[in-house]
Every structure is written in C-alpha cells, then in structure tokens.
Structure 1
Amino acid sequence: MAAPALSQPSRLPITPEWRGTAERVAQAGVPLEDLAPNAPDSHTVQPGDTLWGISGLFLKSAWRWPELWGMNLQQIRNPHLIYPGQVLVLEKIDGRATLRVANGEIGLPTNTVKLSPRVRSSLLDNGAIAAIPVHLIGPFLNEAVVFDNNVLDSAPRVVSAQEGRVMMGRGDTAYVRGDLAGARDFRLFRQLVPLTDPVTREVLGYEGRYVGTAEFVRAGETQLASAGGSGALVPDTFRITSTRMEVVVGDRLSPVPMQELVAYVPRAPSAPVDGRIVGIYGDGLRAGQNQIVSINKGRRDGMERGHVLALWRAGKATTDTTGARREALQLPDEKHGTLFVFRTFERVSYALILGVQEPVRAGDRFTQP
C-alpha cells in the first residue's frame, strides 16, 4: 500500500519549540549514547505503533520525540505523518545517529523489529500513526471532569424512573427537571468528590463521579387543573444512551461539550515542576500502567496537555550498621515511572501512567522528566 506524501499538511499543529528542537538535531543527529541500548538498525512501522513507542525504540527517553523527528527532518516534514509500512532506518556516522525513511525497498529488512509488547492505538484520519495510545485516554475526555463545588447543585437532575424503577440502564427512560439551556446530549454524574492537595490539604476542585450519558426526548409541561389535569408539573423525558454504572434518582446532568481536535504530542514542561498525585481515578487506592491519576498542578501552574512527567519513588529511612556506631540514613528518591498529561483544569490535571515500576499512590511525587 502506497503511503501518502510526507509533505502532506496535517491538521495537528507543530509548535516552534518542537521544530526548533528538531532542526538542532537535524544538523548533526544525536550522540550514540542517547540511543536506546537495543536500538534496532531498522523498524517497519506497524498499525498500532505510536510516535511515543517508536521514540522509545530508538532513544533512551520516549518523550524526546522531537529528536527522533530531527534525525530525519528532511524526509519527515511533519512528525504526525508517519505511516504503517514505512521502514525507518538508523544510520550511525562519526559517533552520531540519524534516521531515514527507506525509499524503494521491497519487503522487510532482516533486522526489522516490531514493538512488542505494544499498545494498540487509533490511526489519524489520514492513516498516519498517533503520538500516544489515544484509545486509552479517549473515554476520559468527557468522563474525567473537575467542577466548582456548586455547579452540579443547580444542574438538571433525574427525578424519577419509568414504572417506578429504582435503577436505570442503557435504553431506559428517565424523567428530568431543571434548566436544559437548549442542550440535548448530557453526561450524568453522581456525588462530587473533593480533590485535596496532599501537601497543603487545600481543596483544589471537585471530581464528578461519572455515571453515563442521556439524550433529550420530549419536553415537559404544566398540566392545568382547569383543563382536566392535576395541576402538577410534567418533567422532561430522557433516554439513557450509555452507562458506566446504574443511573438513579438524584443523578445530575451536565451538557456534553464539543469534542475538540487535540494534538497529543509528548514533550517536557518548559519550566521545573514539583508536584504530588492527588488521587487515583475511580475507586482504587493504587494505580499501575495505563491507569488515570489526578495531579495537583493545573493551567495556572503552566501545566499543558502533552506534558510528560517523571514519577519518583520516595527514598526509605534506614540505618548504617557498617561503622563504629549506628547512624540514621535517608535513601534518595528514585525515578520509577512516567506520566502523560492529557486534560487540564485550573488547579488540577489528569494524567495517564505510561509506565511504572511500582504501584502509584496518592501523595507520590512527580517532576519534569
């Protein structure tokens, strides 16, 4: 299958910062010591590969993807336009490494490797591979939401179910009261959970417990007693379209926001970062790879979608028993994982754990990579 031209424009933006990094690397390549220990001589791009995965295949740090791009800036005009079937060839000259796309080669080189194990990801609309495993964060773009403490108090609410049911599932009818403000598609949330800073104990926001989605079916009305009615209010009618848990009376509705096109491009923060994990999304006390956590840094702290962060394991207190007398020691913290920020609010952000050696808990520290 022929690949589209590499110079084809992409809808995903390339910032001056990323292009500057790539251009600096393009002038001389990267030092051999920056290559991954087992970097292959070539790699055939497979459906399900990501820029993150390919960067980790060739370089020691996967978040340094602009350097991978810069290793082949002439052929890869846009890093988002790398396609399955293309063969990336690693060349080493005078202590530096560059990457090129093989042209006119038939079949796979004998030293071609696949990312294994690897996480499957969706291709972009034009067939190019994605920057990260997009399907892992896709469901959370509407689900992981931080509210002000009073937002849902005045939101439309489920007041009854059909035929006196206590719980509702997909396809069931729910009756709703409240100002819909012209919206037709809604998310359903339960009680708000405060997100508390592990250090300052300050409440940073309130996480809505996601229940599902519902669509507007029919508007309510007021039955007039003089017209033979009871004079009671008739609520709006909704149909439950999806559920993460059963819908119950009292659940609140929030309009589904417009889905924006987002370039999820891994990169390091431009300034030093030192923060803490606020909590594990859901009901867990610990989290591992591919799970979601909330962190105590948001837009006001300079946190942006695409930022990569390093997770640290706290050093343990121990005792030196090798000397003439016993002395207390504090072992240093050690890096043991990587976070990828995919959604930001004013004081809180959500991040995907891309890799970790030990379980992550609330209060764990993170920094710039």
Structure 2
Amino acid sequence: MAAMLKHLSQGLRVVFAVAMLTVATYAAAVEMRGDHPDTYVVKRGDTLWDISARFLKKPWLWPEIWQANPQIANPHLIYPGDVISLAYLDRVAMQPGPRTEAAPINAIPLDQVEAFLKDLRVVDEFQQLPYVVSLEGERLRGTQGQVAYVRGIADAQPGQRYMVVRPSQRFTQTRRMSNGEYMVFKEDLDFRGNRLLTETADLNTGWTNIALMEGPLELLGHELVRVNVGTVTRGEVGDVQVSTLLLDEAGREVRVGDRLIAVDAQPYDLQFFPHPPKVQLPVGKAQVLAVADVNLYGGPRDVIAISAGARDGIDNGTVFSIWSNGNQVIDRVEYGLDRSDLSVPKRSRVQLPDEFAGHVMIFRTFDKMSYGLVMEGIKPTRVGYGLKHPDATQ
C-alpha cells in the first residue's frame, strides 16, 4: 500500500507540474487585461472586437482562448443577452442568453464597411466586360427610370439584374531586384478606365518615380466602383444589337463606357472573426495600397486597401499590425552637419527602425489584394506602410 501511495504521489506531482506548466504557458501566450470585468452581458450594438478588448490586451487572440460550450452549436457566434465571464483557468466562457435577437453580433458594425462590401469589386481585367454603348435619347448621362443600351449580354433575359460599375484605380506591385524591396504602384483611372495619375510608394524613401523601379510589375487588380443597378427589359431581338437596361437607382449617373457585372445574391461574407495571419508573408510583401476617400493618410475606422489577398493565405478577419517604414538617414555627427544628402552613399547611412502605427482587420478579400478596416492606431496610417503579424514588436 505504501508503495502504491508513493507511486500515486509521484504521479500527482507530475500531473500537477504539467498543469502548472500549461497554465504558465497559457498565461504567457494570452494576456488578460488587468481591469477586465468578471462578467459582461452582450448588448445590441456591441462588436466582437470591443468585447474581446474588455478581456484581452490582444483582441485578435479571441478564437484561441474561447472555451467551447457543448450546449452551444457554434460558440463563435455571440448574441445580445449572452453572459461572458472569465471562468476556469482564466478562459473566457459564455452563458447563452434568451436569444431575443435573431442576428449575432459582428466583429465590427457592418454599416462601417457596407459600401465597400456592396459597391467595390477587384478584377484582373475589365475590358472584356459588357458595356454601355448608348443612353436613352442619346443623353450624356442616365439615372433612375431611364434606359441604357448595353453590348455584350446578347443572351440576357428580361428580369435579369446587372450592376453598372466604373473602373477607378489600377494597382500593381514591383520589387527592386538589387535589394529586394517591394514597392506599390497606384494609378487613378478615368470613367473609361484610362490611366490618369501615377503614384508610387517606396518603403524606404517615400514617394518616388516609376523610372527608379526595377523588376517586373505585377498587376494586383483593377478596382471597380458601383454606379447603378439595372434590370434587363429587352434582349437583342432581330437586327437590334443591344440589350435594354432600365436603371433602378438615383445615385451616380451612368455614362457611355461604364461596365456591367451580374448581380450576385450575396457576394460577400456577413460574419468574420478576428485572428492572426495563417501564413507568414515575405517581409514587405503586404503594404497599404490606398486609403479610402483620402489621398495618403487614414486613421481608426478608415478603410485601406492592401497588396495581399487570398493567394497569400489571407481571409476575412485576418489582423495585421501597421508599421511606418524606417528610413535611412545620414549620421551628421560623423559626416558633418553641412553634408548634403547626395554626397553620402546609401550604404553609409544609418537604418532607423520601423514604427508601429496601428492594427487593421481584413473584411473583404480578393485574389491578390484585400480591404481592411483600421481598428486602432497611435499614428496615422499612410500609403506605403508595411503590414506585419499583429504580435510583431519591430
């Protein structure tokens, strides 16, 4: 009996040691906020990100620490009325509420990104899409209740719906072969898709000229903006070579040259959950391509376009940290305060570190690029800034 007790005692010590190691590892990996509440009742209008931030210093770790409840079919879905608490071993647990609300809460309010979910598409090419060849009465522009004549949908049937879109921007990415630095390249397009303006962001020197770039340009996509929606009322009949599209909306006016894409029942996700990237991207590969509605800078709750997408392992809910790129500066103590920049070779300059700017969560992913919402920031987000793992420290 004594031998058995001794053996049992040794076994318990081993179990206890393993348990303590597990707890210590867990505590090191997941940092709880010191001021977190013991319990929280989910309210209408809450977001998953904000609730996670009540408990965690890193809201993007939420899926890793959520304790699944066997009585709940999908513990990732949280509804108003649910009670969230820190339970056994500091794991977040949930007690389901009365389910008076039909829809679960989302990571962010959908109204902040709805326009980008509904009104933007990214395609490799748009020239092959059907297009508006003329408008009713040979008008220059058309709007709600008026007719547009379309080429390229010869097999269209009455009742089919199409979105009228217009090319807005063209995005490419290149890499300097000499030093491996990535650069993003943005061109504004006119309503026919012709290039208007060339802008390039260099990770080290800021804006530069396209002539300085080496290596092939890779097309990331053309951004198409929704202009209107219409319903086919008549297809190509007899010697008529166009389909007739009745415009439904009183928003932006349709022009000759605008393109058409079929309306999808639901072309985007309505639920997504914050999580770290599933794939490690090459340094400098993911950058800020554009900031919506502004020229260069954005802040929290602004939408940004980034130069990586589904082919790079990015999906909706992926969280990145945003970093300004460290410049290379002249050591004026060593070279003299009056030394000009051009007289000091680049290899002799001092490399400064990258600086943290904020976090972004991806909500719309295409093949080569994505759109994300800046969730928080300590400095403005700028075109050309790099994206890293959300836990990156430099």
Report the TM-score when normalising by structure 1.
Answer: 0.71
CA shift, 1:46, in A, is 0.7
- The 8 Å contact of residues 167 and 248 in structure 1, kept in 2 or not, is answered as yes
Matching residue of 2:352:
331
Q: Which amino acid aligns with 1:31?
A: A
- Distance in 2 (CA, whole Å) between partners of 1:161 and 1:84 is 49
**2:46 alignment partner, one of 37, 41, 49:** 49
- Distance in 2 (CA, whole Å) between partners of 1:244 and 1:31 is 52
Residue pairs, 1:1-369, within 5 angstroms: 31=27, 34-70=31-67, 73=69, 78-90=74-86, 96-101=89-94, 126-149=102-125, 152-179=126-153, 181-182=155-156, 184-191=160-167, 193-197=169-173, 198=183, 201-222=217-238, 233=240, 235-242=242-249, 245-259=252-266, 262=269, 263-273=271-281, 274=283, 275-282=286-293, 284-315=295-326, 329-369=350-390
- Distance in 2 (CA, whole Å) between partners of 1:153 and 1:124 is 49
- Distance in 1 (CA, whole Å) between partners of 2:380 and 2:145 is 38
Residues 157, 102 of structure 1: alpha-carbon distance in 2 compared, 3 angstrom cutoff: closer
Report the TM-score when normalising by structure 2.
Answer: 0.67
Q: Which amino acid aligns with 2:222?
A: Y
Residues 319, 285 of structure 1: alpha-carbon distance in 2 compared, 3 angstrom cutoff: closer
Residues 261, 253 of structure 1: alpha-carbon distance in 2 compared, 3 angstrom cutoff: closer
Q: What's the CA shift string for 1:261-281, capped at 9, x where partnerless?
A: 734121111232342112234
- The 8 Å contact of residues 52 and 62 in structure 1, kept in 2 or not, is answered as yes
Structure with larger Rg: 2
CA shift, 1:185, in A, is 1.4
Matching residue of 1:116:
none
Aligned residues: 312
CA shift, 1:103, in A, is 8.7
- The 8 Å contact of residues 132 and 265 in structure 1, kept in 2 or not, is answered as no
Residues 204, 317 of structure 1: alpha-carbon distance in 2 compared, 3 angstrom cutoff: same
- Distance in 1 (CA, whole Å) between partners of 2:100 and 2:254 is 34
Q: What's the CA shift string for 1:74-112, capped at 9, x where partnerless?
A: 676633332212332335x8xx524444699xxxxxxxx
- Distance in 2 (CA, whole Å) between partners of 1:188 and 1:207 is 13
Classify the secondary structure of the residue corresponding to 2:36.
coil
- The 8 Å contact of residues 55 and 68 in structure 1, kept in 2 or not, is answered as no
CA shift, 1:312, in A, is 0.8
- Distance in 2 (CA, whole Å) between partners of 1:302 and 1:357 is 27
35-44 vs 60-69, which moves further: 35-44
- Distance in 2 (CA, whole Å) between partners of 1:156 and 1:141 is 22
Q: Which stretches in structure 1 are left out of the alignment for 5+ residues?
A: 1-23, 105-122, 224-232
- The 8 Å contact of residues 80 and 129 in structure 1, kept in 2 or not, is answered as no
Residues 193, 355 of structure 1: alpha-carbon distance in 2 compared, 3 angstrom cutoff: same
Q: What's the CA shift string for 1:186-239, capped at 9, x where partnerless?
A: 12122353202125643222222332222212224345xxxxxxxxx3632212
Q: Which amino acid aligns with 1:362?
A: V
- The 8 Å contact of residues 357 and 381 in structure 2, kept in 1 or not, is answered as no
Q: What's the CA shift string for 1:262-304, capped at 9, x where partnerless?
A: 3412111123234211223456333322232222212222222
Q: Which amino acid aligns with 1:315?
A: G
Residues 251, 47 of structure 1: alpha-carbon distance in 2 compared, 3 angstrom cutoff: same
- Distance in 2 (CA, whole Å) between partners of 1:173 and 1:125 is 42
- The 8 Å contact of residues 63 and 76 in structure 2, kept in 1 or not, is answered as no
- Larger relative helix fraction: 2
Q: Which stretches in structure 2 are left out of the alignment for 5+ residues?
A: 1-18, 174-182, 185-214, 338-347
- Distance in 2 (CA, whole Å) between partners of 1:276 and 1:360 is 11
- The 8 Å contact of residues 142 and 256 in structure 1, kept in 2 or not, is answered as no
CA shift, 1:335, in A, is 2.1
Matching residue of 1:4:
none
CA shift, 1:365, in A, is 0.3
